[in-house]
Structure 1
Amino acid sequence: MNSLTGGVGAAGGTGSSARLSRRRVLGRLAAASGGAALALGTGAGTARAHGGVRTYVLVHGTHSAGSFWTAIGRELALRGHRVVTVDQPLHGTEKFVPKAYQAQDLRALATEPSPVAALTLDDYERRVTGAVRRAARLGGPVVLVGHSMGGVSVSRVADAVPQLLAHICYMAAFCPSRSMPSLNDCAGSPEGRQAITPLDQLIGDPATLGVLRLNWRTAERRDLAVFREMICADYSDEGFLRVLEGMQTDESMTAYGDRAVGRAGTWGRIPRTYLRMGRDRTVATALQDRMIAEADELTPDNRFRVHDFPGACHLGPEDPTRVVDVLHRLPG
């Protein structure tokens, strides 16, 4: 900040005129950063070689935030696309942080109420649909991508505004079907039960709190080992710590149970892609295969394009360019 104010002072003089110049510059910076949150990249770049500039709307998964997409979004922008990262309600920049979590008072953390408990999948759908509507006004195709729990929002939004979407993509994401209509149903299936469920790591009673609460700041080696195996066993030690820093404690139990089945006449008309992670211990690979198969049964003339990442865990490859290579070349 010193270099910014010093530079402005030199350009704008001293005293009141310098302060006025600083305010003007800071105001411009604030306006620019607000716009960047909606569109990280707007140049043509290599996008022209692959069908022109698109807008990618990226939806995070459970216990996460829009910042999950930072590396992937940056690379997409550098390839000439617009990028919109969505924070679901009470996530990311507006996330709820229990006071007891900051203090690491586990006894209090087990009972501290959470506003996240009131959230439903309708709230998540509205947030993403709003982002898609704004993105569509920018012009050019809109591609909606969801990771993990973000897949249920993709299905809901694709049903709500199919005319605004050129392509939908599920990255190790839940894609409920008629036989498994909610995230809970998917996770409770025989294939879903092959995943790691962190029952011993839960803080408090989910039925009482209304949220699934996890202590990502734990120092317990056993808990850390479970978290790592569950989401990113193939990451470096440093990468794993960065992942933990971006996680939040609470996720709505109601949203897990809400229905999110795409309809053949709306969701089923949109070209779709699945990024399949071969070592996923959160959305088990066998469950990914079943969800893909059941979606294809519903719309046999519009099937998933599947891109396999055999050695990747739930968060995908630590090198973001591998995922971006696929997203950049999506048809539609």
Structure 2
Amino acid sequence: MDFRRTFRTARVDTGTGAAGPASRRTALRRIGLAAGGAALAAGAGAGTARAAERRGAGPRTYVLVHGTHSSGAFWMPIARELTLRGHRVVTVDQPMHGAEAFVPVAYQTQDLAALATEPSPLRDLTLDDYEKRVTDTVRRAARHGGPVVLVGHSLGGASVSRVADAVPGLLAHICYMAAFCPSPAMPSPDACTAAPENADALIPYEQMVGDQEKLRVLRLNPRSGAVKDLAAYKAMMCADYPDPAFRLALSGLQTDEPIGAYAGQAVGRPDTWGRLPRTYLRFGKDRTIATRLQDRMIAEADERTPDNPFRVVDFPDAPHIGPLDPAAVTDALARLGR
């Protein structure tokens, strides 16, 4: 089926061009690389300000969720610009990511034999842990800044769906940026990556370190100097980036992602997730979450809630981590809810 022909969505084309495991091979398909504010008026004016914020006017509160092997720092260029436009922005570090990141000793020393067996504290993390981190962040952000615009990239989309079920009343808008949006037919990130529409995705089978079934994490070595490894990472993440920009993006990756984050189900319920305004930022040159898979996820979501379809914003030339110049993506996020 050509899912691109089944959409019942509102589409915007940026027009800029910038805009449980059974086998090693099956399990490795879980990889999905990523990759100040304004206070409302007090007193009687606060209610008016919050009502305006719900309608998309005035400052908004954004909670931004990163993808696999990444951290909240992934969002920094976009977060900085949204903040300069007067919005409140929180970038989430999932457990044991970012400021809490685990750095294997063997990774620091580049002892590849030891890196293949060094235990990881991420091994017991699941999608439940990720949902809790994001839900707690949304609750705190909403307490001080009103309804939240929740955005997830890549694996972060599974958290968006879960949190939209958990606290729909705290969310003004949800957004998936080249992200997993599971459905009853593809209920988990694992199932999404195994879909035929993702057959053309580039999976780093040869770049995986150790036995991931024993480690219980998907382990990469972003510091690899092997030409073959660097070419594989670049093709997956950002094939058209100049090499200096690619190396900068690669430096932001961490080694481990728990298998449990991919195995958890994240199908939004029609009466909660399905009632929230939602947008999908569709990346046309994505080789990690293939564009055909993005199309299928959008179509299946719309079939479940035909009265509340996705608004799709197309970035025809964007790779998985987004356009080299993030201005068009920032503009799209700034318009959410308007």
Q: TM-score, length-normalised on structure 2?
A: 0.84
| 1:331 to partner: Cα distance | 1.3
CA distances 1:1-57 after superposition (whole Å, capped 9, x unpaired): xxxxxxxxxxxxxxxxxxxxxxxxxxxxxxxxxxxxxxx32279xx99960110000
Tell me the number of residue pairs that the alignment of Structure 1 and Structure 2 aligns: 291
Match of 2:269 in 1: 263
**CA drift at 1:183:** 0.3
The residue that corresponds to 1:135 in the other structure is 141
Offset from partner CA, 1:57-76 (integer Å, 9 cap, x none): 00000000000000000010
Q: What is the rounded CA distance, in whole Å, between the counterparts of 1:113 and 1:154 in structure 2?
A: 29
Contact 1:50 1:328 in 2 (8 A): no
Q: Distance between the aligned counterparts of 1:41 and 1:74, measured in 2?
A: 10
- Tell me, yes or no, if structure 1 residue 92 matches structure 2 residue 88: no
Segment drifting more, 78-87 vs 232-241: 232-241
Q: Pick from 287, 295, 304: which aligns with 1:289? A: 295
- TM-superposed deviation, 1:288: 0.1
In the alignment, what sits opposite 1:106?
112
Is residue 2:320 matched to residue 1:304? no
Q: Deviations over 1:109-144 (max 9, x none)?
A: 000000111100000000000100011011333100
Counterpart of 2:37 in structure 1 is: 41
How much does 1:193 deviate? Answer: 2.1
Q: Could you tell me whether the CA contact under 8 Å between 1:117 and 1:209 is conserved in 2? A: yes
1:175 corresponds in structure 2 to 181
- Contact 2:146 2:170 survives alignment (8 Å): no
- Correspondence 1:63 to 2:69: yes
Aligned residue in 1 for 2:10: none
Q: Which residue of 1 aligns with 2:167?
A: 161
Deviation at 1:210, TM superposition (A): 0.1
Structure 2 vs 1, CA of residues 270 and 56 (structure 1 numbering), >3 Å: closer, same or farther?
same
Find the aligned partners of 1:180 and 1:209 in 2 and give their Cα distance. 25
Q: Structure 2: 5+ residue runs without aligned partners?
A: 1-35, 41-51
**Deviation for aligned residue 1:236:** 2.0
CA distance in 1: counterparts of 2:273 and 2:147, whole angstroms: 16
After TM superposition, the runs of 4+ consecutive aligned structure 1 residues lying more than 2 A away are 40-44, 47-50
Cα distance per residue 1:70-98 (max 9 Å; x no partner):
00000100111000000000000000111
Pair 1:92–1:296, CA change in 2 (3 A)? same
Q: Secondary structure at the match of 1:191?
A: helix
Q: How does 1:1-332 map to 2 (within 5 A)?
A: 40-42=36-38, 51-331=57-337
User: Which is bigger in relative contact order (C-alpha 8 A, separation at least 6)?
Assistant: 2
Query: Contact between 1:58 and 1:69, CA under 8 Å: does it hold in 2?
Result: yes
Structure 1, unpaired ranges of 5+: 1-39
Instruction: Work out the CA distance in 2 between the residues paired with 1:75 and 1:266.
Output: 30
In the other structure, the counterpart of 1:5 is none
**Identity value in percent:** 66
CA distance in 1, matches of 2:257, 2:319: 21
1:138 counterpart SS class: helix
**For the pair shown, which has the larger CA radius of gyration, 1 or 2?**
1
Query: In structure 2, the residue corresponding to 1:313 is in which secondary structure?
Result: coil
Q: CA deviation at 1:320?
A: 1.4
Q: Write the letter of the residue equivalent to 2:116.
A: A
Matched letter for residue 304 of structure 1: F
- CA distance in 1: counterparts of 2:108 and 2:243, whole angstroms: 23
- The alpha-carbon distance between structure 1 residues 58 and 217, as it changes in their structure 2 partners (threshold 3 A), is same
- Asked if the contact 1:43–1:80 (Cα under 8 Å) also holds between the matched residues in 2, the reply is no
CA RMSD of aligned residues (A): 1.5
Supply the AA of the counterpart residue of 1:186.
Answer: C
